[in-house]
Chains A and B, each alone.
Chain A
Amino acid sequence: MAEITKLIHKYLRHEKKFPHVWCPGCGNGIVLGALIRAIDRTGFSKDEIVLVSGIGCAGRLTVYVDFNTLHTTHGRALTFATGVKLANPKLQVIVVMGDGDATAIGGNHFIHAARRNLNLTAIIVNNNVYGMTGGQYSPTTPYGARAATAVYGHIEQAFSIAELAVTAGAAWVGRGTVYHASLLDQLIEQAILKRGFAVVEAISHCHTQFGRRNRLGGPVEMMRWQKEVAVRVEKAKTMTPEELKDRITIGVLVDRELPVYTHELRKLREASQAALGAK
């Protein structure tokens, strides 16, 4: 068995009845692999990790791995994670969501989690579509694309998840693709180690729903597209806006030091104890 496979097996729940629910060729398995490799590199024990997910294909990720795992309601993963982290700040809380999960039904929770700056890691698998329910358009479905609920072409504009996270105040934002798997490992590792709210947007593909309807080919063709449109953030700085049109910047987009919520809360507790003790 290859070293990398051994590593993955160390973290899988073997008593869980495999096979998993994902289609052959899905990017979710690559994200899960990257997540496992990243966690292994951070050195945190299985007991220290709480993996929280929402609803949808990406939401099923939690059941397969041997951590404290929490599969929540649609869009609400970050709210559950907030409670877990505040009740026990020593836990490393990692949240996995899909694009519809995080930015449609969970959009409000997402921007407020970014603003609040708890020490959480949010991984958003963006495949531009609601895969599990059969390919309806999501907030990241591009204008003009076809979906089960946009058979004449989509008439709305799409969110850029990473840019939304930056604007909402996240301390750290990175973007990768499932094609650039080793970069994804590194981004997730950095996001876990970052003190503050860290967002990784993992560009993925849904060949079953999005690819089929938009004649983009299978997983190989869709991953090739990821390879072609991706530009490293360092290189993007040397390019003009025209050159960057329709390209996806990958790498660390933002890394800034902001007051961390649990730290502020500790100060608040001290102030409150001092004030009430002085009476």
Chain B
Amino acid sequence: MTANLTDPTNQGRPLLLQGNEAMVEGALYAGCRFFAGYPITPATEISEVMSWRLPAVGGTFIQMEDEIASMGAVIGASLAGGKAMTATSGPGFSLMQENLGFACIAEVPCVIVNVMRGGPSTGLPTHVSQGDVQQARWGTHGDHPIIVLAAATTRECFDLTVKAFNLSEKYRTPVILLADEVVGHTREKIVLPPAGTIEVVERIRPTMPPEWYIPYEDNLRGVPPMGIFGDGYRYHVTGLTHDVRGFPTERPDEIVPFMDRLFRKINQHFADIQMVVEDLTEDAEVLVLAYGSVARSAKRAVREARARGVKAGLLQLITLWPFPRGLLEPHLRRVKAVLVPELNRGQISREVKRVNQGMTRIDTLNRIDGRLITPAEILDRLVRM
């Protein structure tokens, strides 16, 4: 039990938190006041801590009958004005896909945490994996953009949860935060930032007279202001493809502009959405591209390689989707080789290869046995590249 978290005297003092716990703190910092979830290893701690932290700040925790229901409740809460979140792992994430697609087409801000474990199916419930990277991108049916972030440390769990809420509110889209079993369960020192020191974004709401409100009308940002149930802007929300008023349409001249806007509202804000961490990349000849817990092993390996005279660098992806190709391409043009270590069979390396187009050599290092990739394994590859 981590009841001391709410003790205000802890502010400014170091805490020893799991990644899972830090995500709760990040969510509360961002103003999350609604959580619906279903127990699943290795994400359960998020539900447990939310269950006693949220009521204390006047929020709502509810354990639903399954993950389908959790995702539905999160969308409902967001439509009624609350910042809402759920957390799960692979099997639950699969169940959420249907309503996740609804949140995409109806443009409902919300945050979905997936603490990844080994799959497919029940797989390796207590072991680490990065097997859901492509599912996070393409798990729903239909074409739509999505924002997916990946955290590697307790501190990143906090920061990226705040960031996930900010992006979701700003662009009216679900944002998926991927952690993995190691990131979720590792305890690390963290000093929680005081309120007001990190930016918190609220959705843009309509200010015009209600009779002028056209809920899905395009604008320069591509993100229409969002009416909240009960605030006087009555409108229709549907999972059907809709016109600017929210009513179902089958007209190509209405479908195409709508779908175009869904993509454009993300595409035209790449600079704001795509994030990486550059570590010793400036003069690097060999580049490690990693994310999540593997980035931690890579960080150490890069340093040890440098000690042995190998000019190695690390590009840690924070944003996985939309894939930050613009931040990667300058490196691909310059380095001799890239190593992509992943806890899957190459879900990001195939994207790197797609972007690479023969510019440099792309090597992969994969584990799917529920164990971490160690610094030694990465180092061994770096010195031989």
Contact = CB atoms under 8 A, between A and B. Distances in A.
A91 B80 contact: yes
Contact of A82 (B3, B56, B73): B73
Contact of A68 (B33, B64, B77, B229): B229
Contacts of A73: 72, 98-99, 102, 239
A15 interface: yes
A112 interface: yes
B55 interface: yes
A86 B72 contact: no
Interface in A51-86: 52, 62-63, 66-73, 76, 78-86
B260 interface: no
Overall SS of chain A's interface? helix
A108 B69 CA distance: 9
Contacts of B74: 83
B72 A76 contact: yes
B168 to A, nearest CB: 15
Contact of A47 (B3, B55, B232, B245): B232
A273 B56 contact: yes
Interface in A156-202: none
Given A66-B234, A279-B3, A83 B229 contact: no
Contacts of A83: 34, 36, 72-80, 82, 84
Contacts of A269: 55-56, 58
A276 B229 contact: no
Interface string B212-250: 000000000000000001111011111110000101100
B253 interface: no
Contacts of B102: 72-73
B204 to A, nearest CB: 18
A80 B73 CA distance: 5
Nearest to A279: B7
B68 A86 contact: no
B52 interface: yes
B60 interface: yes
A164 to B, nearest CB: 15
Contacts of B231: 47
A4 interface: no
Given A50-B80, A80-B75, A83-B34, A68 B239 contact: no
A70 B237 contact: yes
Interface string B50-69: 00100110101010111011
B322 interface: no
A112 B73 CA distance: 13
B232 A273 contact: no
B126 interface: no
Nearest to B74: A83
Interface in A80-112: 80-88, 90-91, 108-109, 112
A71 B77 contact: no
Given A79-B73, A276-B6, A279-B3, A87 B80 contact: yes
B60 A86 contact: yes
A91 B234 contact: no
Interface-centre pick from B62, B70, B72, B232 (highest chain A CB count, 10 A)? B72
Contacts of B33: 87
Contacts of A86: 34, 60, 62, 73, 76-77
A60 B34 CA distance: 28
A47 B69 contact: no
A268 interface: yes
A103 to B, nearest CB: 15
A229 to B, nearest CB: 34
A46 B234 contact: yes
B64 A87 contact: no
Contact of A71 (B6, B73, B75, B237): B237
A78 to B, nearest CB: 8
Contact of B236 (A48, A69, A271): A69
22 contacts: A47-B230, A63-B236, A70-B229, A70-B237, A71-B236, A72-B239, A73-B72, A76-B72, A79-B72, A80-B72, A81-B76, A82-B72, A83-B72, A83-B73, A83-B79, A85-B76, A86-B60, A87-B82, A88-B81, A265-B60, A269-B55, A279-B7
B34 A67 contact: no
B72 A72 contact: yes
A16 interface: yes
B231 to A, nearest CB: 8
B191 to A, nearest CB: 20
A70 B76 contact: yes
Across the A-B interface, give the 6 residue pairs with the lowest CB-CB distance, nearest first.
Answer: A83-B76, A79-B72, A87-B80, A83-B73, A83-B77, A71-B238
A108 B84 CA distance: 22
A196 to B, nearest CB: 17
Interface-centre pick from A68, A81, A108 (highest chain B CB count, 10 A)? A68
A272 interface: yes
A82 B76 contact: yes
Nearest to A262: B60
A108 B66 contact: yes
B37 to A, nearest CB: 12
A87 B80 CA distance: 6
Interface string A26-54: 00000000000000000000111010100
B202 to A, nearest CB: 15
A76 B234 contact: no
B106 to A, nearest CB: 9
A161 to B, nearest CB: 18
A43 B208 CA distance: 27
A273 B229 contact: no
Contacts of B248: 63
A6 interface: no
A78 B76 CA distance: 10
A241 to B, nearest CB: 34
Given A68-B234, A276-B56, A84 B79 contact: yes
Interface in B112-131: none
B69 A87 contact: no
A109 B69 contact: yes
